[in-house]
Structure formats: C-alpha cells, structure tokens
Amino acid sequence: MPDLTFDGDVIIVTGAGSGLGRAYALELARRGARVVVNDLGVDESGAAAASAGADATVAVIREAGGTAVPDPHSVAERDGGRAIVRTALEAFGRVDAVVHNAGFSRDNFFDQMTDEQIDSVLDVHLRGAFYVAQPAYAAMKQAGGGRIVLTASTAGLLGAPLMANYGAGKMGVVGLARSIAVEGAQYGIKANALSPGAATRRGDDSSAFRFANRPNPIDPATVPGREWLTPERVAPMVVLLTHRSCPVTGEILMARSGWFARAWVTASEGWIAGGGPIQAEDLLQHWDEIAGTGTEGTELPLDGPGWTVRFMNERIKPLLAEPAANQRS
C-alpha cells in the first residue's frame, strides 16, 4: 500500500465521469478514499448528454475493490451543490475533502460572447465552486477540518484568447480558494487552487476553434510530448492536496506533463509618493520603479486585510512625518 493512504476519508470529486476528474477519483479510491463520483455526463461544451457520467467511473472503482457512490447532480445549481454534499453525508456520514473539477468551455471572440456563454461558464466553474464548497465547508467545520481543491487554469492565470468567460471564472476560483483558506484556517480547513493540464477531450476537441482563431494560430499536432500530457500525471497533486497531510493552503499549484509547481502573486517594490497631491505625470516619471523588472519583488501573502495593515505600518507610517516630497510646481 502507498504511504499516502486515505483510510476511508470521504472525498467528493465533481466532473469525475471523464478526463481529469475520473483519474483523480480512481487514484484517490486506489489509496483507500471513499469517493463520491459526481458527474452530469455532458459533452465538452456542457450541452448534450455524452457519457455514462458517474456510473462508469464508480464501476471501475468497485471492480478494483474500492468504495465509491455515483452522484448525477449539476454543480452549476445551488440545489445541485447541496445534493452532491448530501450524497456524501447520506452514504458515508462525512466529507473530508472536495475537488471541484467539473466544467466545460464555450469559446467565442470577446466582443461576440453572448450572455448564455458567459453565464453558463461562470455558473459551472465559479458559482459551482461556491455551490459545492459551501455545504462541504459547513460539514468540515463541524467535523473539525477538511481540504478543498478548486480547479483553475492557465486561461485565467496567463490569459487566453476566445476564453474571456472561462478565464474569468478560473481566476475567480483562485480568489475564492485564497479567501476560504484565510477564513477556514481557524477550523482546520485548507483550500487551494490547482491549474492542471492534460490532453482530455476538453483540452482537445473544444480547443480546435480556439487554436485556429487566435491571433497567432497554433497547430496542436505540432506540440511535442502529448504522451506525457495525461490526467494520471496530474492526479498525484490532487492526492497531496486532499490528504490529511496536505502541506499548503491558499496556494496556486500547477501540474501538467509531470511538471509540478507553485504559482504566486507578486508585487514590485513600487514607488511611494510623499504627502501632497499626486499627478499622473509623477507615475510616468517613476514608471520603472512601479513596473519593476519582473525578476525582483515580494510575494504577496495570504490575507488581504492583514497585509494592508502591515503595509501601512511598515511602508507608509515612516513617511508620514516627512515633508511633502512630490509637490509639483
């Protein structure tokens, strides 16, 4: 048996009928977790019924001697999120971890993106994260702790053409994970965002339009290393983030092709104006300090309000007594 075992911990994986979620569920179950396999069974644009959804993954887990129950509810609805957590509580009486992975994309040029394309994608990725994580958090809080993993994307962290809806939702879950991490620490709850990469059907077919229509088109067939771009090579990070020994909270992790890394939010040292009025021209004059070099800077810590108070004490307070240095004549 591997060292990182779950000893019957109950883990919900949304969108676990295919792709990354399926690989996560299989690996977690192999390590002794009792898994709630949620999936609606839709295609990569979230539209049509496309697969056996959760049942097929559950069958594989049970065949291998593991424990899992299927759940067919949609993460994109408030009641769906509640029902998914209820499935875990009714089947196993607890929730130790939740991985919100379900999702799809509906790409379009930014100026042509419809409300339907915006709403449906935000609903499944961002609101879905609230709908599933809130009831799970409540159960974890009562039980004394738990782990939450939300799925981000390079489309949000780095930006991507034709994916404004998706990128916004995916960056939204980063803020959500960091906020849950700060608030949940007192209850033993850890929350992280994971930006995965794998050649699944979603990372494949649905990207054809996006690859062809970007300002500098990409031919996916020419990108090397597809054989390493598997969901199984992402799953170890999910094992770590859902395990009781999870070493981090409030972080952004990246996993693809066997590459595992942490991304973080950094600010340049910046320029602080003295007292007195500040003009836009002052900023231009100090632009190099404001922009920074990109290689220096400070990682911004978890906890926005805490950082703000420290910043005011450490950076601004010492300047308060000084005469206005930046008065323009």
Ligand X SMILES: NC(=O)c1ccc[n+]([C@@H]2O[C@H](COP(=O)([O-])OP(=O)(O)OC[C@H]3O[C@@H](n4cnc5c(N)ncnc54)[C@H](O)[C@@H]3O)[C@@H](O)[C@H]2O)c1
CB of 267 to ligand X, least distance (A): 26
CA distance 59 to 68: 8
Given the complex with ligand X, which of 17 and 250 has the nearer CB atom? 17
Among 85-93, 192-200, 270-278, 309-317, the segment contacting ligand X (CB under 6 A): 192-200
Write the single-letter amino acid at 150. L
| Phi, psi angle pair for 36, to nearest 5° | -95, 110
Given the complex with ligand X, which of 39 and 96 has the nearer CB atom? 39
CB of 204 to ligand X, least distance (A): 8
Read off the DSSP letter of residue 49: B
CB of 82 to ligand X, least distance (A): 13
CB of 159 to ligand X, least distance (A): 13
Contact pick of 19, 66, 172, 250 for ligand X (by CB under 6 A)? 19
Catalytic one of 131, 137, 166, 187: 166
Under rule CB under 6 A, residue 88 binds ligand X = no
Under rule CB under 6 A, residue 95 binds ligand X = no
**3-state SS, residue 145:** coil
DSSP element (H, E) containing 69: strand 67-71
* 187 a catalytic residue: no
CA distance 123 to 127: 5
Given the complex with ligand X, which of 221 and 280 has the nearer CB atom? 221
Given the complex with ligand X, which of 14 and 192 has the nearer CB atom? 14
CB of 46 to ligand X, least distance (A): 5
Taking CB positions, which residue lies at the least distance from ligand X?
A: 19
Cβ(137)–Cβ(146) below 8 Å:
yes
Under rule CB under 6 A, residue 41 binds ligand X = yes
Under rule CB under 6 A, residue 21 binds ligand X = yes
**3-state SS, residue 200:** coil
Given the complex with ligand X, which of 101 and 192 has the nearer CB atom? 101
Cβ(183)–Cβ(139) below 8 Å:
no
Interface residues for ligand X in 97-156 (CB under 6 A)? 101-104, 124, 151, 153
Among 29-37, 107-115, 198-206, 243-251, the segment contacting ligand X (CB under 6 A): 198-206
Q: Are strands 10-13 and 97-100 parallel, antiparallel or unpaired?
A: parallel
Under rule CB under 6 A, residue 39 binds ligand X = yes
- In the sheet that holds 189-197, the strands lie side by side as 67-71, 34-38, 10-13, 97-100, 146-151, 189-197, 252-256, 259-263
Given the complex with ligand X, which of 171 and 189 has the nearer CB atom? 171
Under rule CB under 6 A, residue 74 binds ligand X = yes
CA distance 126 to 103: 10
Closest among 244, 146, 147, 241 to 195, alpha carbons compared: 241
CA distance 12 to 10: 7
Contact pick of 34, 38, 61, 253 for ligand X (by CB under 6 A)? 38
Under rule CB under 6 A, residue 198 binds ligand X = yes
CA separation, residue 40 to residues 14, 48, 49, 140 (Å): 9, 10, 8, 24
CB of 285 to ligand X, least distance (A): 41
Paired residues of 68 in beta bridges:
35
Cβ(193)–Cβ(174) below 8 Å:
yes
What are the catalytic residues?
166
Interface residue list for ligand X (CB under 6 A): 14-15, 17-21, 38-42, 44, 46, 74-76, 101-104, 124, 151, 153, 196-198, 200-203
